[in-house]
Amino acid sequence: MKVLIAEDDQLTREGLVEILESEGYQPVSAEDGETALSLMHTENPDFVCLDVMMPKKDGFQVCKEIRRTHPSLPILFISAKSEEIDKVLGLELGADDYIVKPFGVKEVIARIRAITRRCLNQDQSTSTAQPFTMHDLTVLPSELRARRGEETIELSLRDIKILEVLYMNPGKAVDRSELFDKVWGLSHMPNSRTLDQHISQLRKRIELDPKHPKIIQTVHGVGYRFE
Amino acid sequence: MKPRLVLVYCLIVLTPLALLAWVGSRMVKENQRQMQEQMERLLQGRLSDLSHTVQMYLRNREKELLRLTRLQSFRPEAIREHARQYGFVRQLFVIGPDSRLSYPSPTGPWTQEEEAFLLRTRKLFSYRVDFGGDESTPPLSNDEDLPNQPPANLQPNLSDQQILEMEQQQEASSQTQQRSVQQARLQVRQQANRPLQQLFRPPRKNGPSHGWHAWYWERGVHLLFWRRDEYGRVIGAEIPRVRLLSDLVGLFPDTGLSSAEGRIVLLDANGKRIYQWGAYEPKRGDEPAAMRSLLPPLKAWSLEYYLPADMLKPKQGEWMSVLPSVLALALALVGLAVYFYRENNRALREAAQRVSFVNQVSHELRTPLTNIRMYAELLENQVDEEDPAMGKRVSVILTETERLSRLIGNVLTFSRQQRQALKLHPVRAVPDRVIERVTENFRPAFVAKGIEPKLELNAGGEVTLDVDALEQILGNLLGNVEKYAPDGKSVTIASSIAGDVLTVTVQDHGPGIPAGKEETVFQPFVRLSEALTEGVAGTGIGLSIARALARMHGGELKLVPSEHGACFEITLRSQ
């Protein structure tokens, strides 16, 4: 899932890119409004994160122009919580949601996951739309969630992809390169620590005992396996 | 500038100007009208004075004529002799009680003057003149009111002889007149034997005893004076026209008077100019500024007063006296409008600058804060659990970032509150999720100070509320717990919903609020005793803002009685 990030502050922009990548998205970034509109045509993203105060064209103008060609594209505004907030929520601009600075990683992730769910529900063509079960865990790809009994676990897109790859290869050790290819994409080559850290974080959320995982098992020297 | 504002400013300036111009023009016109009336009255007064002067002259003449017509003898010779004593009489006549003309005798013999008199008056007497009737003029004086001597202003300009000679020359010069005179003489002689009583009306018994009679002959009006005696006889005198004119001219100013008074013209019954004075020469077509007929018996004559046109027209100076006032007011109004416009713009600019400053500060402070927090959280995700020191450092960064964020939020909210620009943005949300999130944000700080948060949450349903407002209120309360009540070691946060009212309580176990300060703590910049606040940082506006937000939300923030520590109760009404 491709996400366009339009933010003039470099550190904020790069931070958001890192957060979205860790979530399993393909972020494309723009440092001003005109670049953002240009990337809209070339990259055709699935949703957009728009800063309000940007050079050349501000977020409101970009939003209006996007709405002309993409009336239902989810747009997430990044606001500094000033008087502009009224405009942000205005029906005229058609914003779907907003994040107020300073925001935390978790807040961003929560907002983005909410938008992703809407996108997934709208697009029924994805093969990961159907829920699947891994031991006592029911994975709901379209909701970016998993359930164990009454407990609900929030999952990222990448988490879903990892679980999907393992689920599609039950009992088989999926090597790292395959996981890189299928989860991170061929163009991205993170180091092994990135994968291990991600798996570690995922285990903390879905395993009853992360130190003795049942769903995602480590295959030393190879990769990981779902038994 | 907005069109509406332009219209308002135009109305402010133009309406009073238009009103003033209208009032000014009305005043000027009224002033002109009054001046014109005054001028007319003045002119009429002048003409009236002149008319009265003529009247006075005739009155005095009348008195003399009354005396003159008291004949001692009615013999023609005596009458002729009597008449010669008075130069202003051309001819005397007597009509007997039988209404017959007794002098000059109808049968003759006549003197030349008597014959000429009969010629002149043949038509007059042939129409049965009714002395004392409608055609006569009432007396100007009483019989008894006789002057002791002639008035000094009645000295003629010409001598009697000169006047007589003029008349004779005028009569003798016209060939046509001579022929008519001969014919008239013949007619008179033919009428000589006719009884004259049928030519005259019987005298009225109760009519006036004397008076004037004007009749037209040849060139204009002639005057007869008559008196009826106790025997019913009518004794009259003909006033020579030229003598009359000469006397009247003597009453009036000289012809060559300066143009200061314009020009006054005396006109006869035919509208012909008899006399005029004043150097101003009326132009062809000029209308007189004033007209007045003389009083009887010369009411057929009139006076006209001509003035130069520039004396009649309104002076430019009158308008000029109003124009400076209008211009001054216009300048004042324009200046006032410009002043108000600039002040308005300045106020708008300042307000915009204040808003812009707040926005700019908000943006400039929040953006680096965002980066600090975001990267600290990313770092936290990568901190090795085996390295607690690193974890703590990252935690400190996050805690202080959160505190700084609350501080900035309070300052900006306080600024908006001062500008009365605070607004609510209600959304559907679950209050307990908000409480959990805020409490979670304080976890590192609480852990560092050994404060254990306890949640007793019973507001799991969705309501419509301003999430940011609830976060800020709760953040300020928990921030105070961290600052003022760390020794209490715990804080309990409870929530409930009753109807459309959300209630959240924050109970700490610190020193509490001193008695009597329950309301003071909510005032901005007010600190409690130094003992309590010594060493504690803060802006002193947290509770003030929290209460303001709660009240905006239709609720309240108050201190409720507590056995130990301080217990704050937040109530928010669902929007």
Q: Kindly report, residue by residue over B9-33, the tens digit of the pLDDT.
A: 888 888 888 888 888 888 888 888 8
Counted across chains A and B, CB pairs separated by less than 8 A come out at 69
* CA–CA dist B157, B247 (Å, integer): 7
Nearest residue of A to residue B382, measured between CA atoms? A197
pTM beyond 0.80, yes or no: no
Give the SS3 label for residue B406: helix
**Pick from B138, B163, B155: nearest CA to B59:** B138
Which of B96, B101, B108 lies closest to B190 in space, CA to CA? B108
- B375 closest CB neighbour out of A15, A85, A100: A15
Residue B573, SS3 per DSSP: strand
Closest residue in A to B398 (Cα–Cα): A104
Omega of the bond leading into B297 within 30 degrees of 0 (cis): yes
Q: How far is A94 from chain B (nearest CA, A)?
A: 16
Residue type present at position B6: V
Q: If contacts are CB pairs under 8 Å, which of residues 209-248 in chain B contact chain A?
A: none
Average the pLDDT over B210-222 and give the result. Answer: 79
Residue with the bigger pLDDT between A65 and B202: it is A65
What's the rounded Cα separation, in Å, for the pair B26 and A133?
Answer: 99
Pairwise CA distance, residues A189 & A174, whole Å:
16
The band of A42, judged by pLDDT with boundaries at 50, 70 and 90, is very high
Side-chain half-sphere CA neighbours of B417 within 13 A: 19
What number of other Cβ atoms are within 10 A of residue B530's Cβ?
A: 8
Q: Give pLDDT tens digits for B556-568.
A: 999 998 888 999 9
- Express each pLDDT in B519-553 by its tens digit: 888 988 776 655 555 555 566 788 999 999 999 99
Residue B299 CB partners (closer than 8 Å, separation 6+):
B293
Which residue blocks in B463-541 are alpha helix, DSSP H?
467-484, 530-533
Are the CB atoms for B557 and B543 separated by under 8 Å? yes
Q: Output the six-digit token pair for A212.
A: 């003795």
Mean pLDDT of A181-201: 75
| 3-state SS record for B185-217 | HHHHHHHCCCCCHHHCCCCCCCCCCEEEEEEEE
Of the ranges A7-11, A159-163, B387-391, B428-432, which one carries the lowest mean pLDDT score? B387-391
Residues of chain A contacting residue B372, judged by C-beta atoms under 8 Å apart: 102
Mutate to test the interface with B, among A101, A152, A195, A211 (most CBs of B within 10 A): A101
- Contact of B464 with chain A, judged by CB distance below 8 Å, is answered with no
- pLDDT confidence bin for B354, thresholds 50/70/90: low
| pLDDT value of residue B548 | 92
On the CB side of B17, how many CA atoms lie within 13 Å of its CA? 18
The SS3 call for residue A178 is helix
Tokens 């600075």 map to which residue? A101
Residue A11 with chain B: CB contacts under 8 Å: 371, 375
Q: What is the mean pLDDT of residues B457-474?
A: 91
What tens digit of pLDDT does each residue of B374-424 get?
998 888 877 777 788 888 888 888 888 888 888 888 888 887 777 777 778
Residues of chain A found within 8 Å of residue B362, distances taken between Cβ atoms: 80-82
* Residue that is written with structure tokens 């030519």 in the block: B199
DSSP structure class, residue B314? P
Q: How many residues does chain B have?
A: 575
Q: Residue A201 pLDDT more than 50? A: yes
> In whole angstroms, what is the distance from residue A218 CA to residue A199 CA?
10
What value does the mean pLDDT take over residues B90-110? 83
Q: Which residues of B touch A101 (CB under 8 A)?
A: 366-367, 369-370
Mean pLDDT of chain B: 79
Residues of chain A with pLDDT > 90, as a percent, come to 34
d(CA B58, CA B136): 15
Name the more confident of B131 and B159: B131
Q: Quick one: what percent of chain B has pLDDT higher than 90?
A: 15
Tokens representing residue B298 in the block: 């010369």
Of B402 and B348, more confident: B402
Residues of A in contact with B369 (CB under 8 A): 101-102
Q: What are the φ and ψ backbone dihedral angles of B18, each rounded to 5 degrees? A: -60, -40
| Residue of A9, A82, A105 lying closest to B377 (CB–CB) | A105
What's the complex ipTM?
0.78
Mean pLDDT, residues B48-76 taken together: 88
| Min Cα–Cα distance to chain A from B430, Å | 15
3-state secondary structure of A44: coil
User: Residues of A with CB below 8 A from B425's CB?
Assistant: 85-86, 89
Helix (H, G, I), strand (E, B) or coil at B226: strand
**How, if at all, do strands B501-508 and B567-573 pair?**
antiparallel
Residues of B within 8 A of A9 (CB-CB) are: 367, 370-371
Phi/psi for B138 (5° steps) reads -60, 160
Respond yes or no on whether the N-terminal peptide bond of residue B453 is cis (omega within 30° of 0).
no
**B355, B377, B409: residue with CB nearest A104:** B377
Mutate to test the interface with B, among A82, A109, A193 (most CBs of B within 10 A): A82
Name the token pair of A119.
């996108």
Identity of the residue in B370, B381, B412 whose CB atom sits nearest the CB atom of A102: B370
Categorize the per-residue pLDDT at B196 as very low, low, confident or very high, splitting at 50, 70 and 90.
very low
The predicted pLDDT at position A72 comes to 84
Instruction: Give the B window 172-201 contacts with A, CB below 8 Å.
Output: none
- The string of DSSP letters for B416-441 reads HHHTT------EEE-HHHHHHHHHHH
Cα separations in angstroms, A2 against A27, A28, B127: 6, 7, 134
The SS3 of residue A215 is: coil
Residues B236 and B224: their CA atoms lie apart, in Å, by 7
Minimum CA–CA partner of B425 in chain A: A86
CA distance A132 to chain B (A): 28
Residue with the larger pLDDT of the pair A184 and B260: A184
**Average pLDDT rounded to a whole number, residues B450-468:** 91
What is the tens place of the pLDDT at every residue in B144-193?
444 333 333 333 344 445 555 555 665 555 555 555 555 655 555 555 44
State whether B359 and A86 contact (CB < 8 Å): no
Is the Cβ of B4 closer than 8 Å to some Cβ of chain A? no
Q: Residues of B with CB below 8 A from A15's CB? A: 371, 374-375, 378
Search chain A and give the residue with CA nearest B405.
A102
